[in-house]
């Protein structure tokens, strides 16, 4: 699978192909693919948000899921926590530093599992740091859409330790990790 970004994110799945045929290629549907996050606020509640600009590709063969690839790219300036002033601060050098790090990417390097669920391995490049990560993923579904296309959707969750990616702005001891929820829907090319 190949999938540029926080990723994040997570995809696998599309129609089965015969053994000698290459995996089907999919373009991520940016209106149905999501990278959402939550982080504790002072240990009393959760702050939720998302990145609104996600793009990428995936390759998938249900008969050979280990050959799948995904690549996801996130525009870090598209962060949206439903509060304009907070988003401005999150874009600043205190947090995401979007001027220096305008993109976050995830590119898969392997997959262990079956056509329904498994663990996606890859490299997350975020805030100037590249780190090998693993994301548990599951297929949500696949099939024909009402417009004559073929779609496949996947979900995964990754818990990021902020300090591992140079995000050290003090938010208190309850906010050392960020939970990323990844929902990916691809349209077969």
Residue 143 tokens read as 């099939």
Residue 20 tokens read as 């000698």
Is 167 part of a structural domain of the chain?
yes
From the list 162, 161, 152, the residue with the least C-alpha distance to 186 is 152
Is 14 part of a structural domain of the chain?
no
Task: Mention every residue, 6+ apart, whose C-beta is less than 8 A from residue 130.
Answer: 123, 124
* DSSP assignment of 98-156: TTT--EEEEEEEEEEE-SSEEEEEEEEEETTEEEEEEEEEEEEEEEE-TTS-EEEEEEE
Is 1 part of a structural domain of the chain?
no
Q: pTM for this structure?
A: 0.85
Is 9 part of a structural domain of the chain?
no
Is 17 part of a structural domain of the chain?
no
Residue 61 confidence (pLDDT):
83
Is 178 part of a structural domain of the chain?
yes
Is 16 part of a structural domain of the chain?
no
Is 45 part of a structural domain of the chain?
yes
**CA gap 22, 176 in Å, rounded:** 42
Q: Cα–Cα distances in Å, from 92 out to 79, 87, 100, 159?
A: 11, 9, 10, 22
Instruction: Answer for the pair 6, 73: CB distance below 8 angstroms, yes or no.
Output: no
Number of structural domains found in the chain: 1
pLDDT means over runs of 10, the chain (189 residues): 38 36 88 96 94 95 90 98 98 97 98 96 98 98 95 97 95 94 96
Residue 160: Cβ within 10 Å count: 22
Domain CATH code at residue 142: 2.40.128.110
Containing structural domain, residue 168: 24-188
pLDDT tens figures, 47-93: 999 999 999 999 988 889 999 999 999 999 999 999 999 999 999 99
Residue 163: phi, psi to the nearest 5?
-65, -25
Instruction: Answer for the pair 48, 80: CB distance below 8 angstroms, yes or no.
Output: no
| Cα angle: 68, vertex 73, 79; to 5 degrees | 135
């Amino acid at each position: 699978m190949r999938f540029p970004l926080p990723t994040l994110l997570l995809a696998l799945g599309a129609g089965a192909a015969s053994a000698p045929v290459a995996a089907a290629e999919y373009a991520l549907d940016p209106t149905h693919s999501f990278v959402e996050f939550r982080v504790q606020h002072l240990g009393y509640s959760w702050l939720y948000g998302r990145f609104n600009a996600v793009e990428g590709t995936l390759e998938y063969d249900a008969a050979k899921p280990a050959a799948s690839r995904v690549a996801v790219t996130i525009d870090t300036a598209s962060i949206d926590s439903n509060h304009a002033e907070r988003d401005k601060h999150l874009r600043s050098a205190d947090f995401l530093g979007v001027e220096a790090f305008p993109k976050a990417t995830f590119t898969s390097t392997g997959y262990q599992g079956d056509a329904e669920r498994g663990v996606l391995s890859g490299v997350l490049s975020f805030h100037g740091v590249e780190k090998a990560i693993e994301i548990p993923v599951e297929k949500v579904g696949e099939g024909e859409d009402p417009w004559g296309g073929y779609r496949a959707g996947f979900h995964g969750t990754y818990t990021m330790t902020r300090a591992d990616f140079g995000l050290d702005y003090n938010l208190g001891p309850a906010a050392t990790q960020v939970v990323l929820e990844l929902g990916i829907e691809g349209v077969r090319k």
